[in-house]
């Protein structure tokens, strides 16, 4: 049974859906990645299987109206291979001002536990080695891509090329540059919408990069993965549609919908 499950989480189309389990997860490490993004290293009370790209539903106790519990989803940012040896998994969280979920997580002390249900989600790496992959993220939307890129299933079933296209405001918001640059044998493109003077990389949003580099992409032979701000995802999807990318080659995980009138200009 476990063997079947283990095999299924690494496969393109899991034949057997892994049933979520409830776990307690102890905070055993924490790293501040930027001014408002932190990484949590958590030790699960029980091992669990997940496919890279899946998320945990975390219980936020008593933070809802009338003291009700809330739930918030967080993509697992570490590879599944970190789990079996030590039951460790990682999350990459942006602290949202006044947000009950992120403030709760930010205030967890070392050795304290959180409760969650895991795994959930269909936003997983598709093993299509005869195609290219373009992974597009803004902000903490890079979390599931870190999990995918570090995973065995990706390393052993690489696409023809992989482009990780990451949009941020300025250099202070960049994530995982040192870690992911060597992992990606192909491109780690970082685009900055408000670049500091002297930024040698691309200036603009991920959508500007896609438009300016349209000629370099093999649109119809690429799997596109989009994660983060819903406005970015909508705009990228309209570009993909204009290039006649099949719906089946577009995979998305929307973290939040922008408020009316808001774009992803600030990323």
Considering only the C-alpha atoms of the chain, give the largest distance between any 2 of them, rounded to a whole number of Å. 56
Determine if residue 9 is left, alpha or beta; phi over 0 gives left, psi from -120 to 50 gives alpha, anything else beta.
Answer: alpha
Under a CB-based contact definition with an 8 Å cutoff, are residues 50 and 121 in contact?
Answer: no
Q: Does 143 bind ligand FAD (CB under 6 A)?
A: yes
Least Å distance, CB 130 to ligand FAD, is 28
Q: Measured at CB, which residue is nearest to ligand FAD?
A: 99
Piece of 158-166, 180-188, 237-245, 249-257 that binds ligand FAD (CB under 6 A): 249-257
Least Å distance, CB 120 to ligand FAD, is 7
Q: Does 255 bind ligand FAD (CB under 6 A)?
A: yes
Within residues 71-100, the interface with ligand FAD by CB under 6 A covers 72-75, 92-94, 96, 99-100
Q: Does 265 bind ligand FAD (CB under 6 A)?
A: no
Reported as half-sphere exposure (CB side, CA atoms, 13 A), residue 103 has a value of 9
Least Å distance, CB 20 to ligand FAD, is 13
Q: Which is nearer to ligand FAD, 101 or 217 (CB)?
A: 101
Piece of 136-144, 165-173, 186-194, 202-210 that binds ligand FAD (CB under 6 A): 136-144
State the number of binding residues for ligand FAD (CB under 6 A): 20
Q: Does 55 bind ligand FAD (CB under 6 A)?
A: yes
Q: Which is nearer to ligand FAD, 72 or 126 (CB)?
A: 72
Q: Which is nearer to ligand FAD, 36 or 208 (CB)?
A: 36
Q: Which is nearer to ligand FAD, 49 or 175 (CB)?
A: 175
Q: Does 146 bind ligand FAD (CB under 6 A)?
A: no
Cα distances from 161 to residues 142, 186, 249, 257, 259, in angstroms, run 18, 6, 15, 30, 35
Least Å distance, CB 1 to ligand FAD, is 27
Q: Which is nearer to ligand FAD, 34 or 221 (CB)?
A: 34
Q: Does 256 bind ligand FAD (CB under 6 A)?
A: yes
Q: Which is nearer to ligand FAD, 72 or 132 (CB)?
A: 72
The footprint of ligand FAD (CB under 6 A) covers 55, 72-75, 92-94, 96, 99-102, 121, 139-140, 143, 253, 255-256
């Amino acid at each position: 049974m476990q063997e079947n499950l283990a095999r299924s989480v690494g496969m393109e189309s899991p034949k057997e859906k892994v049933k979520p389990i409830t776990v307690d997860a102890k905070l055993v490490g924490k790293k501040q990645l930027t001014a408002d993004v932190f990484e949590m290293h958590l030790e699960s009370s029980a091992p669990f299987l997940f496919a890279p790209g899946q998320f945990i539903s975390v219980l936020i106790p008593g933070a809802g109206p009338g003291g009700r519990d809330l739930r918030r989803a967080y993509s697992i940012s570490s590879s599944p291979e970190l789990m079996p040896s030590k039951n460790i998994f990682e999350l990459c969280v942006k602290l949202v001002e006044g947000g009950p979920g992120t403030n709760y997580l930010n205030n967890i002390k070392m050795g304290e536990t959180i409760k969650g249900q895991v795994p959930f989600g269909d936003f997983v790496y598709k093993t299509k080695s005869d195609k290219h992959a373009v992974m597009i993220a803004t902000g903490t939307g890079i979390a599931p891509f870190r999990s995918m890129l570090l995973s065995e299933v990706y390393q052993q079933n690489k696409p023809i090329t992989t482009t990780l296209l990451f949009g941020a405001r300025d250099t202070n918001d960049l994530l995982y540059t040192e870690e992911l640059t060597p992992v990606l044998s192909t491109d780690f493109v970082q685009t900055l919408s408000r670049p500091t003077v002297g930024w040698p990389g691309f200036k603009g949003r991920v959508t500007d990069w896609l438009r300016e580099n349209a000629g370099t992409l093999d649109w119809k032979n690429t799997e596109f993965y989009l994660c983060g701000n819903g406005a970015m995802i909508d705009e990228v999807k309209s570009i993909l549609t204009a290039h006649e990318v099949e719906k089946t080659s577009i995979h998305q995980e929307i973290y939040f919908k922008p408020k009316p009138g808001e774009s992803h200009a600030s990323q």
